[in-house]
Amino acid sequence: MAAKRRLGVGVVGMGWMGDVHARSYRAACHRYADLGAEVELVACADSSAELAEAAAAKHGFGRAETDYRRLLEDDAVDVVSVTAPNFLHEEVCVAAAAAGKHIWCEKPVGRDAAEAARVAKAAAEAKVVGMAGFNYRWAPMVRHVAELLAAGELGEVEMFRGRFYSMYAFDRLGLFSWRFEKAKAGAGAVGDLLSHVADMALELAGPIEAVCAQQATFIKERPRPRPGQVSHYGRGAPDDPTAPVENEDFIGVLVRFANGARGVLEGWRGACGPKSDMGFELYGTKGSAKWTLEDLNALQLFLRGRKHHGRFIPGDGNAIGYEDTKAIEAAQFLRKVLAGDWQDSELRRASAVAEVGAAALRSCESGAWEQVKEANDG
Residue 102: in which H helix or E strand, if any? strand 102-105
Q: What single-letter amino acid sits at 366? A: S
Position 321 scores a pLDDT of: 86
5-135 belongs to CATH 3.40.50.720: yes
Domain 137-315+344-371 belongs to what architecture?
A: 2-Layer Sandwich (3.30)
pLDDT value at residue 305: 42
The per-residue pLDDT for 309 is 59
Q: Answer yes or no: are the C-beta atoms of 21 and 330 closer than 8 Å.
A: yes
**SS (HEC) of 155-179:** CCEEEEEEEEEECCCCCCCECCCHH
CA pair distance 254, 265, nearest whole angstrom? 7
* Residues forming CATH 3.40.50.720 domain(s) in the chain: 5-135
Q: Which distant-in-sequence residues (6+ apart) come within 8 Å of 103 by Cβ?
A: 79, 80, 82, 93, 96, 97, 119, 123, 128, 129, 130, 131, 347
In terms of Cα–Cα distance, which of 178, 55, 49 is closest to 111? 178
Residues 175, 329: Cα–Cα separation, whole Å: 31
42 membership: H or E segment, kind and range = strand 37-45
| Residue 251, φ and ψ in degrees, nearest 5 | -140, 130
Residue 67 CB: number of other CB atoms within 10 A? 12
Q: What is the pLDDT along the chain (378 residues), one digit of tens a residue?
A: 678 999 999 999 999 999 999 999 999 999 999 999 999 999 999 999 999 999 999 999 999 999 999 999 999 999 999 999 999 999 999 999 999 999 999 999 999 999 999 999 999 999 999 999 999 999 999 999 999 999 999 999 999 999 999 999 999 999 999 999 999 999 999 999 999 999 999 999 999 999 999 999 999 999 999 877 666 778 999 999 999 999 999 999 999 999 999 999 999 999 999 989 999 999 999 999 999 999 999 999 875 444 555 677 766 556 788 898 999 999 999 999 999 988 888 899 999 999 999 999 999 999 999 999 988 755
Other beta carbons within 10 angstroms of residue 42's beta carbon come to 21
All CATH 3.30.360.10 domain ranges of the chain, comma separated, are 137-315+344-371
- Which pLDDT does position 230 carry in this prediction? 64
The alpha carbon of 69 is separated from its chain's Cα centroid by a whole number of angstroms, namely 23
Within 8 A by CB and 6+ apart from 236, the residues are: 173, 174, 175, 222, 223, 224, 225, 226
User: Burial, 78: exposed, middle or buried (Cβ in 10 Å; 0-12, 13-18, 19+)?
Assistant: buried
Entry pTM: 0.86
For residues 269 and 238, give the distance between their C-alpha atoms in angstroms, rounded to a whole number: 21
